[in-house]
């Protein structure tokens, strides 16, 4: 029986995309794509998600790509401009869960400890999340089993009674490997169908 529902944040509750900031900055599709794929890319961003200070990471990246110094600094100073809107339908879905048997909702996110607080403050949807484990604070990244274990132990949850929702298939598999049920997020409508199927078993 499922008693605990755990949400990832980026791509599930809120939209995040560096293109929102850098498309305008570069005004050159090829140069922008190169920057996002090779300079301030996913692998580099993961370092901050794992707890590396932005200041250190930015300094290191500028040393490696001095020609992009201004843009790299913008990644830190204008980071909130990489954020989009709340994912459509998710506020309503979580509110409904809280009113129908799941009053306590959990979050497990790969996010920098520096950039998550302003995001949490800005978006109303986070007022619905009661307990959060943030990778930047734990210095652990999904799909490392230790970060799932941290959540389960901290809030006394049983893996077999928990379902984890993430848009990243590797993180979904990581949760399954820990004994949890897991759903790959596509959109709110699909998630509602998947949850209904799982909860009504």
Q: How confident is the model at residue 83, as a pLDDT?
A: 99
Q: How confident is the model at residue 130, as a pLDDT?
A: 99
Residue 128 and residue 59 share a domain: no
Residue 183 and residue 94 share a domain: yes
Q: How confident is the model at residue 195, as a pLDDT?
A: 98
Residue 170 and residue 98 share a domain: yes
Residue 110 and residue 28 share a domain: no
Say whether pLDDT at 79 is over 90: yes
Q: How confident is the model at residue 201, as a pLDDT?
A: 72
Confidence of residue 148 (pLDDT cuts 50, 70, 90): very high
Per-residue pLDDT reduced to its tens digit, 19-53: 999 999 999 999 999 999 999 999 999 999 999 99
Say whether pLDDT at 16 is over 80: yes
Q: What is the DSSP string of the chain?
A: ---EEEE--BTTTEEE-THHHHHHHH--HHHHHHIIIIIS-HHHHHHHHTT--HHHHHHHHHHH-GGGHHHHHHHHHTGGGGEEEEPTTHHHHHHHHHHTT--S-EEEE---TTTHHHHHHH-GGGGG--EEEEHHHHT--TT-HHHHHHHHHHTT--GGGEEEEES-HHHHHHHHHTT-EEEE-S-HHHHHHHHHHHHT-
The partner residues of 109 in beta bridges, in order of sequence, read: 134
Q: How confident is the model at residue 73, as a pLDDT?
A: 98
Q: How confident is the model at residue 140, as a pLDDT?
A: 99
Residue 62 and residue 99 share a domain: no
Residue 74 and residue 92 share a domain: no
Domain final residue, candidates 43, 60, 83: 83
Domain count, the chain: 2
Q: What percent of the chain has pLDDT over 70?
A: 100
Q: How confident is the model at residue 104, as a pLDDT?
A: 98
Q: How confident is the model at residue 53, as a pLDDT?
A: 98
Confidence of residue 163 (pLDDT cuts 50, 70, 90): very high
């Amino acid at each position: 029986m499922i008693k605990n529902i755990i949400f990832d944040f980026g791509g599930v509750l809120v939209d995040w995309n560096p293109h929102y900031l850098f498309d305008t900055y570069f005004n050159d599709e090829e140069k922008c794509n190169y920057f996002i794929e090779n300079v301030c890319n996913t692998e580099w961003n993961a370092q901050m998600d794992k707890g590396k200070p932005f200041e250190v990471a930015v300094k290191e990246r500028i040393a490696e790509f001095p020609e992009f110094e201004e843009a790299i600094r913008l990644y830190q100073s204008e980071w909130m401009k990489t954020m989009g809107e709340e994912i459509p339908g998710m506020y309503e879905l979580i509110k409904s869960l809280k009113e129908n048997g799941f009053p306590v909702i959990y979050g497990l996110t790969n996010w920098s400890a520096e950039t998550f607080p302003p995001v949490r403050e800005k978006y109303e949807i986070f007022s619905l999340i009661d307990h959060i484990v943030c990778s930047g604070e734990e210095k652990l990244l999904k799909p490392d089993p230790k970060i799932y274990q941290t959540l389960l132990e901290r809030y006394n949850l049983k893996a077999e009674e928990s379902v984890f929702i993430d848009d990243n298939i590797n993180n979904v598999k990581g949760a399954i490997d820990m004994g949890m049920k897991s759903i790959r997020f596509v959109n709110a409508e699909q998630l509602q169908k998947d949850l209904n199927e799982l909860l009504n078993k």
